[in-house]
Amino acid sequence: MNRLIRVTAALALTLGLTVSAVARAASISAEVKKIDEGAGKITLKHGPAKSLGMDQPMTMVYQVKDPAMLKQVKVGDKVSFDAEEEASGYTVTKMEKAK
């Protein structure tokens, strides 16, 4: 029984690290081109965004899930972001300045 618990714990830890690595790989690198705080939108110039089904680099306007994200960046900043497709378009769900 102890061995089963140890194996299960090791597997969970391994899967957790794998999911974390996949999540980091899904982040998209971009440059902030425009910020519209009133509309809760940001324009990002980014490379291919495989997680969104975009194979080519492009510049796009995104809604932001949390308008507070817009106060943390300025035009010209390099960022890493995650987004999801919704019925109303694409929405940035997470964004941080690139390191």
pLDDT tens, residue by residue, 61-93:
999 999 999 999 999 999 999 999 999 899 999
Please give the Cα distance from 48 to 30 (Å, whole number): 10
Domains of the chain: 28-97 (2.40.50.320)
Strands (E), 1-99: 28-36, 41-46, 58-64, 78-86, 89-97
The model's pTM? 0.73
Amino acid at 33: K
